[in-house]
Chains A and B, each alone.
Chain A
């Protein structure tokens, strides 16, 4: 069996050599963080300084240093762990009632395993935040069972909440600079002195905060505030992370980076994390999530039997300048079941066994002016259609 740490480091070198400098850099930092070794941290931070100080996008001149660093990390043996897949949170038939004739969430059943990423989608007011806060033990569920299975257990509720990390949509204001806040968070988790500083710098580099480390909260953009929250969260070595709309207010590039980071962190072979996050960015969520929970009126998609509807049906989302008639003319009557238009995009439902490629071909033949097309047959996007 190949050593996962070595595979990770080789990947980092490969990314860097191919020119995916940022990805390689972040992967190397993850590998270095796995070592938990002060000497490695020092060496990596030396490289980080060079990397961050080079203003050109092309970092290929740093490949030698990068490799040296990667080899040093490789020298620290990290045994393969089998933590991924261990159940860490189990919620059965969770229900939250807010009084008679008021909103009811659930019943929802969730089983979170280490390394799992759960996406939570649904329109506003359908219970995403409620479910997250129940899982974060911030509010009490009206009925149902909720249990946690941390590697070291917990002594009391405060201890439980220390282990659960919930990042709300609007993270609280903090004062002072980035470094001090991260050091303050880390020192409470028993990491003091030199290691405290090194680990904080590692995390700052990992989340792209290096240039902003001396800034204050109000001086950071929304994206960097979210990165700060993630850095602070990860310093606590959490086993469960619950994020409420982490992508809100982020530009598309920032969204992609954050999602990629979440995935990398969740799937860490040393400290895999169970993650649940809610978002309105359906496609981005689906891209990184192992499972997506769709909530409508407080009920999960399983409970609504939505999953079964159109389970073998091809459903297309289409954005075009052409008219509805022109679209209809592109397909045989026998193929197209119905078209829905919400004012922005068309949703096309097809009958029988028809492939996405044949749809593309049919549209190309009619020379329609396509802005955007997507197969949403397996996506929760289809639930958002009325």
Chain B
């Protein structure tokens, strides 16, 4: 038994004793394998323990992948960067790994990490949703902010604004309906969405607590985005996905990097893009050198 498996066993046993080892949320179905031990069906993932405590190691089991899953999607909120580093191939499309969760996750919040792998039908993405155990943190009753203006220094350097500081009365974005927005923030708060018919007025209700109400338009796009800003401390976004009217933590999916749309083949015939410039430049320099040499010789003859 390798040290990783020993660690996994320990983690699961400890979590069970604590009563924290709940069944997986993301993968209610057992592994489905077809003839020849080939993975069948879409990839699924489950994690134990779930809920977990920040910093816990999670035991991950993925089914339905022909090749090793990777957590290199745009969203990795649960684990430290680079985690899980690798998966062990258990055969039949089943992969296991142990990965360290971040230590700065908020109690009571759900987080998401996106995975990808190659299935018999090609590349596929799947999502792990895991919850941090414990109650949400109490309201921050620290010192009131004095950096009210935009760009002003944060009044409380200990405060870090994130999704855990925003409570929405409903996660469902419905045409014409309202959503209450409650925010913990030691400075000022702005909340806005292009999908609101009018932008909510955020009002101070008590120390570091702000509230407002937004009303959605009567016609909503498939992707609704809501942004809440704690001035001086940053902002967080919530958004829906096509076919899912619930706003989730995080903005819409944004692909990494820039698109690569061209092979340069129309440039390579004339020497490529870089060579494109180098060709005429080289010709000009040769011509220039020749002209300079001829002038110098004529000048020398006449001066002599």
Chain A complexes with chain B? no
Q: Which residues of B contact A (CB under 8 A)?
A: none
